[in-house]
Structure 1
C-alpha cells in the first residue's frame, strides 16, 4: 500500500484507514505504534499491543475520581 503524508496543522501525518486498523486487529482509539528509523533511511512502523490496557484505563479513572473537584475547576477556566 502506498500512502502520502498530508498536512495537519504545522505537521505532516500518515493517515491509517479504519479498515486497515480493523484488519490488523487494532482498536483505533488505543492503538500504539513504534516508529524506528532504519540506517538506510527507511522507516519501520510496528504496532504495539499492550496486555494491560484495562489496567491503564482503570488507573486513569482512579486519577479522575481522586481529582474530580480539581478537574472540574480546570474545565471551567
Structure 2
C-alpha cells in the first residue's frame, strides 16, 4: 500500500483565510482550494467596486495560490 502525501499550501501573496482553514491542501497530485474571496491581502476586506471588482480580485487571489503550489489555471478543474 502506498503512502499518501499531504502538503499545506500558504502564501503571503493572497489574503489569509477568514475562517479556520488553509488556502490550499495538496494531496498527492491534487490541489484543493476553498473559500477564495475578493479580498485585499493587506486589509483582508472585500475590494471596493462591486461584484466585478470582487470577482476579478478573487481570481487574482486564486492564481496566486495556484502559483504558490507550482500550478496554474491550465491545470485547474471546477467541481461546480
Question: With structure 1 as the length reference, what TM-score do the two structures score?
Answer: 0.21
Greater helix share, 1 or 2? 1
The structure that is strand-richer by fraction is 1
Q: Which has the larger radius of gyration?
A: 1
TM-score (norm 2): 0.21
